[in-house]
Amino acid sequence: MTVFLVIIVLALLAVTAWQISKIFQMSKRPDADTSQVANDKDNKLNGLLMLGFVIFLYVITIYCFWEYGRFYLPEAASDHGSEYDTLMFVSIALIMFVQIITQGLLHFFAYKYKGEKGKRALFYADNDKLEFIWTIIPVITLAGLIIYGLFTWSDIMNVDMEEDPMVVELYAYQFAWRARYAGDDNTLGKANVRFIEGVNQLGVDESDSYGKDDKIVTELHLPVNKPVLFKFRSQDVLHSAYFPFFRAQMNVVPGMITQFGFTPTITSEEMRQSEYMVDKVRSVNEVRKERSKALMAQGEPTLDSYEFDYFLLCNKICGQAHYNMQMKIVVESEEEFNAWLEEQQTFGALMASQSENVDRPEDTAGDGDTDTPAETREDMEEDENTEEPQESDAVAVVEKK
């Protein structure tokens, strides 16, 4: 609120300044220049301001790189990520170089050649050589960037099936994610939203034997240094699976299966220990502590302190709770991963337990109520997931409306 007041004060100051300028203008001597066309004085002032402006640009550039450059994501946690980062740094270096030179020239010329009465401009309409040079330089630079980029692109997008990647389905719905592991056969059972019924919330085809050993979970675990191929499926609208720490993203499109593959290289624990993340978490927690103080003063519950975990977020507008459609990702050693996966229930077992329970009256009542899969989730074990309370938040928001 205080900041808002500050804004109002600033606004009023601006209005005052403007009013004062009006007064000055009205009190001008009648013989003053009133043509409203720039005169030498205006040219000089604005020329100087142009010079000031480019200095301002340089200053905010340096400030932003200095102060906000540290926001750049930590070291990529995937195999292809380092290639991505290299290409990114090369491109940023290149565009900053061009930016500094061209902005400098533009504003410096604006200052240097500010108009004066009686001065003559140079009649200079054409120079083929010059134009050729600055056509060919971008051509060569961009050709290099294009070729570099395309090699990286095809590296990333072409999944090497010979490496036998682990197949995982990521299933998106308003407003959460599920993951389906393909099981021992590494083949996902067929699925379609038309099969959604009762506890079969992902619409896996029960008649497909490949689906029997699939495992459906609410938290994504990945073994380190093992290629993963994600198959994306959406239940309702467009979503986008965005893995910022792994430099990976793919839209999730209803009616079609999209894919993206990568190899995680840094475990959650290693990332937590990294210098970058220790600093980051410290600064986040400082912010949270400040905010908690304010909350406490208002008698509201305070914020928990933050511990880093990889996350997956939705990056395509998908509805009201789009801003909170996330999933925790755990990258761990292969042994830990296998142990975790072992504990998960297979789809076959899940369906079997449902048919056992089918006589129970409350369950048949529950069948009609498949509003969102989140609500019929009691069959899913593994309740350490973090998004559970947030998910119900999302639902609450929808209901509030």
Partner 1 sequence: MSAIANAPAHDHHDDHGHHHKETFITKYIFSQDHKMIAKQYLITGLIMGIIGIAMSILFRIQLAWPEQSFWIFEALLGKWAPDGVMTPSIYLALVTIHGTIMVFFVLTAGLSGTFSNLLIPLQIGARDMASGFLNMVSYWLFFLSSVIMISSLFVEAGPASAGWTIYPPLSALPQAIGGSGTGMTLWLVSMAIFIASSLLGSLNYIVTVINLRTPGMSMTRLPLTIWAFFVTAIIGVVSFPVLLSAALLLIMDRSFGTSFFLSDIFIQGEVLSHQGGSPVLFEHLFWFLGHPEVYIVLLPALGITSEIIATNSRKPIFGYRAMVASILAIAFLSTIVWGHHMFVSGMNPFLGSVFTFTTLLIAIPSAVKAFNYITTLWKGNLQMNPGMLFSIGLVSTFITGGLTGIILGDSTLDINVHDTYFVVAHFHLVMGISALYGLFAGVYHWFPKMFGRMMNKNLGYIHFWITAVGAYGVFFPMHFIGIAGLPRRYYTNTEFPYFDDYADVNVIITVAAIITAIAQLVFLYNFFGSIFYGKKAVQNPWKSNTLEWTTPVEHIHGNWPGKIPSVYRWAYDYSKTKENGEYVIEGQDFVPQTVPLQENEEELNH
Kindly identify the residues of this chain, within the stretch 249-308, that bind partner 1 according to CB under 8 A. Answer: 249-251, 253-256, 258, 280, 283-284, 287-288, 291, 303, 306, 308
Judged by CB under 8 A, which stretch of 127-135, 177-185, 329-337, 344-352 contacts partner 1? 127-135
Question: What's the CA gap between 80 and 243, in Å, rounded?
Answer: 13
Distance CA(237)–CA(105), nearest Å, equals 48
Binding characters for partner 1, 339-358, by CB under 8 A (x = yes):
--------------------
Site for partner 1 in 210-249 (CB under 8 A): 232, 235-238, 240, 242, 244-245, 247-249
Is 27 a binding residue for partner 1 by CB under 8 A? The answer is no
Q: How many residues bind partner 1 (CB under 8 A)?
A: 139
Write down the least CB distance from residue 343 to partner 1, Å.
Answer: 27
Which amino acid is it at 54? V
Burial class of 199 by CB neighbour count within 10 A (0 to 12, 13 to 18, 19+)? buried
Return the residue of 23, 37, 297, 365 that touches partner 1, per CB under 8 A: 37
Q: Which residues pair with 168 in a beta bridge?
A: 181, 230
Q: Determine the Cα–Cα distance for residues 394 and 378; give it in Å rounded to an integer.
A: 19
CB neighbours (10 Å) of residue 103?
15
Closest residue by Cα to residue 159 from 220, 86, 250: 250
What does the block give as tokens for 289? 């502590």
Residue 43 touches partner 1, criterion: CB under 8 A: yes
**Residue 366 binding partner 1, by CB under 8 A:** no
Binds partner 1 by CB under 8 A, chosen from 23, 26, 32, 134: 134
Pairing of strands 326-332, 220-223: parallel
* Residue of the chain from 31, 184, 362, 371 that contacts partner 1 (CB under 8 A): 371
365 interacts with partner 1 by CB under 8 A: no
Nearest CB to partner 1, comparing residues 103 and 186: 103
Q: Provide the mask over 74-103, with x wherever binding to partner 1 is found by CB under 8 A and - wherever it is not.
A: ----------x--xx--xx-xx--xx--xx
16-24, 163-171, 180-188, 353-361 -> range binding partner 1 (CB under 8 A): 16-24
Q: Is 9 in the site for partner 1 (CB under 8 A)?
A: no
As measured in angstroms, the least distance from the Cβ of 339 to partner 1 is: 27
Q: Please tell me whether residue 165 binds partner 1 under the rule CB under 8 A.
A: no
Nearest-angstrom CA–CA distance, 182 and 217: 12
Number of C-beta neighbours around residue 283 at 10 A: 11
**Residue (135 or 342) nearer to partner 1, CB:** 135
How near is the Cβ of 226 to partner 1 at its closest, in Å?
21
Of the candidates 334, 336, 311, the one whose C-alpha atom is nearest the C-alpha of residue 324 is 311
Region 301-340 residues binding partner 1, contact defined as CB under 8 A: 303, 306, 308, 311, 313-324, 326
What angle, 0 to 180 degrees and rounded to 10, lies between the N-to-C axes of helices 81-112 and 40-68?
160
Confirm or reject binding of residue 207 to partner 1 (CB under 8 A): no
Please say whether the beta carbons of 247 and 75 come within 8 A: no
Cβ neighbours for 207, distance < 8 A, ≥ 6 positions apart: none
Instruction: Identify the three-state secondary structure at position 198.
Output: coil
Does residue 376 belong to the site contacting partner 1 (CB under 8 A)?
A: no
Distance of closest approach, residue 169 Cβ to partner 1, in angstroms: 14
Under DSSP, is residue 347 helix (H, G, I), strand (E, B) or coil? helix
